[in-house]
Chains A and B, each alone.
Chain A
Amino acid sequence: MQYAVETFSLTKIFSDLWGRAKVYAVDDLNLQVRYNEVFGLLGPNGSGKTTTLKMLLGLLYPTKGRAVVLGGDGADTKINARIGFLPEESYLYRFLNARETLNFYGQLFGLPPKVRKMRIEALLDMVGLKAVANRPVGTYSKGMARRIGLAQALINDPDLLILDEPTTGLDPIGTRQIKDLILKLAERGKTILLCSHLLADVEDVCDRIAILYGGRIQAQGRVKDLLQQSHKRQIVTSAINDSTVEKIKEIIDAEHAECEITSPMDKLETFFIKTVAEAQRQTRPTSGAVSTTHIGEFLTERSKESILDKLVSAPTQQQKISKAPKTEMTVPAESAEPKADKQLLDELTKPHKPAQQTPSSNDRTTRTEPVEAMPDTSEQQNHTKRSILEELTEEGTPQNQQEGQTDTNEGGDRSDA
């Protein structure tokens, strides 16, 4: 099977009792989601995103066309066993507590008690609800319910994760965590299909996206390809003095190009996370969710039986490399031997730490790269956030260290894969 999810002219028409007043919720949709990619389905409200997901899962029946999920029918229980689904809201039994909820869903998968228990604890730890696990989920805030919803979607260690608006109702830290989680799951070989209208979230995690409007695909492709402004360039430097700036300006003027020089702003997200981290350091009590960056260790790597899939998904991998800073400008193509390349990548990842944190850094590397709609600062901020997130969750446990490693050489990891 080439695609994890593939639809053929999928169409859903809603009509009234007499068959009149037709609404094309989804119209002739041809969607292909490759294995091991993060695919985002975007669109304004009522554009048919959720309807598409429901048809994939057999909750709605298509009027025309067909959907193939993991090589079969999405309503088939054998296929269902390999899917994790998070609906647009976490619909939970209000009277069960978090542990009981996860236990219930674990039982639906027929997991043996020992495995169930282990996974439940790992997931509760992962979504940061361990402390409130004995409260009925009916008393949870929306974000906490969202977390438990995500946990139930992961209890079967799914190959395909279908997430409907995964970050709605979550606080910025939670959003960040879910985004990190999605990336980590992708690293582990899961396929993720998510739909959202929160563009920033999609942009951060998705490899490919499709934009729906009126039930039709309006645009589809890799995020990089769709967003890259190839007619512009951006240079990010450390805090250099004004005379240097003038010199650079002169050079650019000589090229008859325009240039704009500012100090990059922190995103509000970063600032928020910093503030909360400060509060958490002072150990303010909270009745809400606790931030963690753990990932359930049971969430396995995708099995090696599907080498074919990996070959097929090779383009995706390349694309992930493209997420790491581009290097053509500084490195001549001929010297791009594998070893050198890795070394360089490592070097490049270092200056990602914000300048203000390492003012004494002698390594004044200057990088140039194509300008994106959201500039490199986001990449930079991601790392800031990560390091703070790690501080939020007490460091020192072997798991955390491992996570930290994964984080810092993420680019390297990906190129290795």
Chain B
Amino acid sequence: MLSAGAFFGIMGYISLRGILLTVSLVLALSAVVTLPIVGLAIQNIRAIALNTLRQALRMKVAATFIMLLLVLLPIIGLTASGDGTLKGRLQTFLSYGLSLTSLLLCLLTVIVSIYSVTSDIEQKQIYTVITKPVHRFRLILGKLLGVLLLDMGLLVLFAAIIYSITIYLPVFHGANFEERKQLRNEFYTARASVVPEQIDVSKEVEESYKKLEASGQLEQVFPNYTRKEIMAQLSNRARLMKRAAPIGRELVWEFHNIKPLDPNESIFVKFKYDVSVTPPDSQVYSQWLIGDYRQIRYGAQSETPIYRDDRKDPIRTFREIEVPADAIAQDGYLAVAFLNVPLNNTVVIFPIEDGLEVLYKADSFTANFVRACILILFRLIFLACLAVLAASFLSFPVAILLCLAVFLTGTLSGFVLESLDFLSANVSGVYSYTVRPLIKLLPRFDEFNPTKFLVPARLLSWSLVGKVAAFMVCIKSLLLLIFALIIFKYREIARIVV
């Protein structure tokens, strides 16, 4: 019964959320593809769009940005050194190149969209356009379409440049076989990560709190603490306990639903040790078993190999164990067991945030790169809509200022939210009902920063892209655009001159 409930719960979760994300992704992508086609088919929208494109390409800002990127991208490609390794070079180039392209295109989008609307109003070309049989919403759509065409063109151009430099950089530097293998595993791939599930410790914590309270030790152990803070400390301690291996003991983590792209490739167990007593050489000896643990537990017939690795690793550094992907059972099950060998003479702890994860190649680098570019495109769409809204009722400088403020806040939103959350202990009421929702309304550019995924070769999943499509394009951008159209429809176009 319980499992059936859980099953339906999971199904409900998947169907609702999954369907929503899929639908919005399809909507956003089809809008990106079909809008230009439909727009270009309507003659007066096409005329305005192409005129806007033309205007944009003649702007000095656009020319400067394009030239800058055309010059800077190869230079970064040649000079970026990172940590000295080829992987470091590639990571630095990709990170800088993509961030720079994204930043400049964002700025360009804001400037061009605002300029093309406000200059028409200020230089009054709009008098001769709006008095022709052109609906005002078509004028705005035409402008938006022109900007999007520019964005898409430039994005494709620069993405192609970055991609080819990334691919040919190893050839250029004459990488050897080992380096290439490393890059294949750690850079030219899209690795999905699974981490151990958070174990629910609330019951234990509750019990130990009661015990402390009953024995009257609460004040002794936690002087001047609130109940909430004590609970937080206790649960943190309890969780760490679950991830600590005493001397001679074993820790087992089980993972489900691991679907590697190619079973002949490798999977990686990435871990970091913490210890209670630092060993003399700062090394931890260990024995790892990776495979279908159920075979051992239930004595089932051996179908998939179990890999054993006896090793010695430094503490407090990330290490990876590479294992062939055939260790994963047919149903996507994988267990990782760690034995704290008695040689160590210390308790080994895996930190809660990043102590252990299993990485597997879930997609190709190219697909990941394409999704990263789609994320950038979504960001540009949002900014274009925002810019058009700002331009529909503000003058050029004010609109630019507003958009840049939103852009910067969006880029730093994670940081801003965190610091405000930290401050909010004192001003919670005012803060949580005014500033916080406002910031939440802004786009979360940093959370969906594509380089965050590409540099460590993490999988940028379609579901994440779908999430961005849902919130940033289908909801926020659409709302902005609707506001812009409404304002533009009802405002007086002519400047008031008597």
Interface residues of A (CB under 8 A from B): 14, 23, 25, 46, 48, 50-51, 54, 57-61, 77-78, 80-81, 83, 85, 87, 89, 91-93, 95-96, 104-105, 107-110, 149, 152, 156
Contact = CB atoms under 8 A, between A and B. Distances in A.
A60 B494 contact: yes
B203 interface: no
A81 B134 CA distance: 9
A92 B55 CA distance: 12
Contact of B125 (A46, A50, A91): A91
Contacts of A156: 132
Contact of B132 (A89, A96, A109): A109
Given A77-B134, A77-B135, A59 B128 contact: no
Given A77-B134, A89-B124, A91-B124, A59 B44 contact: no
A265 to B, nearest CB: 39
Contact of B133 (A61, A78, A96): A78
B127 A91 contact: yes
Given A87-B127, A91-B127, A107-B47, A50 B132 contact: no
Interface string B117-138: 0000001111111111111000
Interface in B131-152: 131-135
B498 interface: yes
B133 A110 contact: yes
Contacts of A78: 133
Contacts of B128: 85, 87, 91-92, 105, 149, 152
Contacts of B131: 57-59, 80, 83, 85
Contacts of B127: 59, 85, 87, 91
A227 B32 CA distance: 64
B494 A59 contact: yes
A59 B125 contact: no
Contact of A104 (B47, B58, B492): B47
Interface string B478-497: 00000000000000111011
B498 A110 contact: no
A332 B242 CA distance: 124
B184 interface: no
B496 A14 contact: yes
Contacts of B44: 107-110
A309 B17 CA distance: 64
B125 A92 contact: yes
A83 B128 CA distance: 11
Contacts of A60: 492-494, 496
A87 B48 CA distance: 20
Contacts of B125: 91-93
B46 interface: yes
Contacts of A87: 124, 127-128
B497 A80 contact: no
B492 A61 contact: yes
Contacts of A93: 51, 55, 125
A107 B43 contact: yes
B46 to A, nearest CB: 7
Most buried by A among B125, B132, B493: B132
A217 B135 CA distance: 32
A156 to B, nearest CB: 8
A109 B48 CA distance: 12
B42 to A, nearest CB: 9
Interface in B46-71: 46-48, 51, 54-55, 58
A96 B129 CA distance: 14
Closest 8 CB pairs of A and B: A107-B47, A77-B133, A59-B494, A91-B124, A108-B132, A81-B133, A80-B133, A85-B131
A224 B367 CA distance: 79
Contacts of B135: 77
Contacts of A59: 127, 130-131, 492-494
Contacts of A58: 130-131
A109 B132 CA distance: 7
A91 B132 CA distance: 14
B123 A91 contact: yes
Contacts of A48: 498
Contacts of A91: 123-128
A54 B46 contact: no
Contacts of A96: 51, 54
Contacts of B46: 107
Contacts of A110: 43-44, 133
B498 A23 contact: yes
A60 B498 CA distance: 12
B406 to A, nearest CB: 25
A87 B497 CA distance: 14
Given A14-B498, A92-B125, A149-B128, 12 more contacts: A58-B130, A58-B131, A59-B494, A80-B133, A81-B132, A85-B127, A93-B51, A93-B125, A95-B55, A108-B44, A108-B47, A156-B132
A273 B58 CA distance: 40
Contacts of B48: 108
A104 B43 CA distance: 10
A109 B133 contact: yes
A5 B58 CA distance: 40
Given A77-B133, A110-B133, A95 B58 contact: yes
Contacts of B126: 91
A87 B183 CA distance: 64
Contacts of A92: 125, 128
Most buried by A among B46, B127, B129, B131: B131
A47 to B, nearest CB: 9
Nearest to B58: A95
Given A14-B496, A57-B131, A81-B133, A104 B51 contact: yes
5 contacts: A57-B131, A77-B135, A83-B131, A85-B127, A91-B125
B498 A108 contact: no
Most buried by B among A46, A54, A78: A54
Nearest to B132: A108
Contacts of A25: 498
